[in-house]
Amino acid sequence: MIAPPLALYIHFPWCVSKCPYCDFNSHALKGEVPEERYLEALRLDLESQLDPAGPLLDGSASPVDRSVTSIFLGGGTPSLFSPDAIGRVLGQVRQLLPVAADAEVTLEANPGTIERGRFAGYAAAGVNRVSLGAQSFDADVLKRLGRIHSPAETCAAAEELHAAGIANFNLDLMYALPGQDRAGALRDVEAALALRPAQVSHYHLTMEPGTPFAALPPPGLPADEQADDMLEACQQRLGAAGYERYEISAYARPGRACAHNLNYWRFGDYLGIGAGAHGKLSVPRPDGLGWEVRRSLRLREPRRYLGSVPGGLTVSVVDPAQLPFEFMLNALRLIEGADRALFESRTGLAWEGVEARVAALVRRGLLEMADPGPSFRPSVRGLAFLNDMLVEFLPEESGT
């Protein structure tokens, strides 16, 4: 058996303020960023997960036999940490894990936290890709979204990225925003394209449970039909500009798809360190028949995390009956879909266990088959009804 590729996710939990639509593990910063203490916690966190006798490995083969193919520094707002701190984090990782020479190293950044010249410092520290949270180029909309930056700051950050030699950057955009119409959504896309990003992530504003927007939605939200019209128009414009849709919400220039996210969608492995970080690791089953997939989770609240490391890691084993659903939950987000060989190699299960369900979805027009096969991918209709497909892969005892 060939182990899945291995990535590393590092979570930085602080933001200047909490956006009312955000359900990520982010916390408004009070005072200074505790760089030294957090860096030490990250080191202890990774060391504990690589301990052969620790709760994650529990006597299984260590992932240090695999090179890390990508590193993602996410948040929160990692750009609140200095380039020196980011460089030290990446140095600690390389001391503990083999990192591929061509590994993609992504830093999430808020345009409102970037000082002039800082991206050059991040590049020197080892960052070679950045994901910039633009969200919109309409100043009034940004205020309604609770964002702390301006459109001008996004443009300045993009200029800094190009000047620092980091042309491989992503711009996050949202649509179906308060008071937005089709023309407004297209203006955001045009403004993003003018900054020459390698990728554009284009998300529908969602009222996530537990957020202030869920409790009190902002006025002026577009109707579903309007949002669908915005999406179609923006997809066409991105495609005409040479950005290929490779995932439900991601569009990239040729060769610039995010390697780290592709590893997620292809059901690869990843270690997760930092407050609230979670991971997935495949280890050989004791009987030698396939993989045992282990999930790990750290405490979410930063102070509790800092007080618990190197302890405080929760590890669970995914029930093999749940693996088809978990695989499809990721793979069916991809425009390319997946194939039998990938399903079998990443889950350790036989294709015959899902063959009938895949065939049924093909008959319903939600999946398409392609040669060489069996390769399967979501149809245009299937991308719009992803949840309808996923329930077909739930274990029978879970119901639908």
Residue 379 counted as domain residue: yes
Q: What is the mean pLDDT of residues 268-274?
A: 97
Mean pLDDT of 243-247: 97
Q: What is the pLDDT of residue 370?
A: 80
- Residue of 370 and 134 predicted with greater confidence: 134
Domain assignment present for residue 20? The answer is: yes
pLDDT value for 373: 67
pLDDT above 70 covers what percent of the chain?
98
The whole-angstrom distance between residue 154's C-alpha and the CA centroid of its chain comes to 21
Q: Is residue 361 domain-resident?
A: yes
Residue 250 and residue 356 in one domain: no
Comparing 344 with 399, the larger pLDDT belongs to 344
**In the prediction, which pLDDT does 115 show?**
73
Residue 120 and residue 206 in one domain: yes
Residue with the two structure tokens 């008071």: 179
- Are the C-beta atoms of 377 and 248 separated by less than 8 Å? no
> By mean pLDDT, which of 56-70, 244-258, 269-283, 353-367 is the weakest?
56-70
Write out the H or E segment, with its range, that includes residue 297.
strand 291-297
Examine the domain organization and report whether 223 and 325 are in the same domain.
Answer: no
Domain that holds residue 127: 6-262
Q: pLDDT of 61-73, one tens digit each?
A: 777 788 999 999 9
Are 149 and 142 spatial neighbours (Cβ–Cβ below 8 Å)?
yes
Q: What is the mean pLDDT of the chain?
A: 93
Predicted local confidence at residue 396, as pLDDT: 76
**Is 365 inside a domain boundary?**
yes
Residue 116 has pLDDT above 80, yes or no: no
* Predicted pLDDT at 37: 96
Cβ distance 108 to 73 under 8 Å? Answer: yes
Domain annotation covers residue 296 = no
Q: Which of 195, 229, 262 is the last residue of a domain?
A: 262
pLDDT at position 397 is 63
Flag whether 219 is in a domain.
Answer: yes
Q: Which of 384, 294, 394, 399 is nearest to 354 (CA)?
A: 394
Flag whether pLDDT at 399 surpasses 70.
no
Polymer length in residues for the chain:
400
For residue 364, report the phi and psi dihedrals to the nearest 5 degrees: -85, -5
Shared domain check, 193 and 332? no
Query: Do the domain assignments include residue 31?
Result: yes
Cα 244 → chain centroid: 18
Structural domains counted in the chain: 2
Under a CB-based contact definition with an 8 Å cutoff, are residues 126 and 88 in contact? no
Mean local confidence (pLDDT), 205-233 = 94
Give the type of residue at 21: Y
The pLDDT-based confidence of 60 (bands split at 50, 70, 90) is confident
Q: What is the rounded distance in angstroms from the CA atom of residue 22 to the CA atom of residue 25? A: 9
Residues 177 and 47 grouped into a single domain: yes
Task: Give the residue-averaged pLDDT of 184-190.
Answer: 98
Going by pLDDT thresholds of 50, 70 and 90, the confidence category of residue 374 is confident
- Cα distances (angstroms) measured from residue 91 to each of 37, 40, 94: 16, 12, 5
In a domain, 294, yes or no: no
DSSP state of 13: -
Would the pLDDT of 246 be above 90? Answer: yes
Report pLDDT for 286: 78
| In the block, residue with structure tokens 């910063």 | 29
The reply to whether 252 and 330 lie within a common domain is no
Q: What's 344's domain CATH number?
A: 1.10.10
| β-bridge mates for residue 281, sequence order | 294
pLDDT at 290 over 90: no
pLDDT tens, residue by residue, 121-177? 999 999 999 999 999 999 999 999 999 899 999 999 999 999 999 999 999 999 999
User: Which residues fall within 8 angstroms of residue 348, CB to CB, at 6 or more apart?
Assistant: 1, 282, 285, 289, 290, 291, 320, 323
Show the tokens assigned to 192: 């993003």
- Say yes or no: 32 and 150 in one domain: yes
**CA 185, CA 173: separation in Å to the nearest integer?**
9
Cα–Cα distance, 125 to 84 (Å, whole number): 7
Amino acid 398: pLDDT: 46
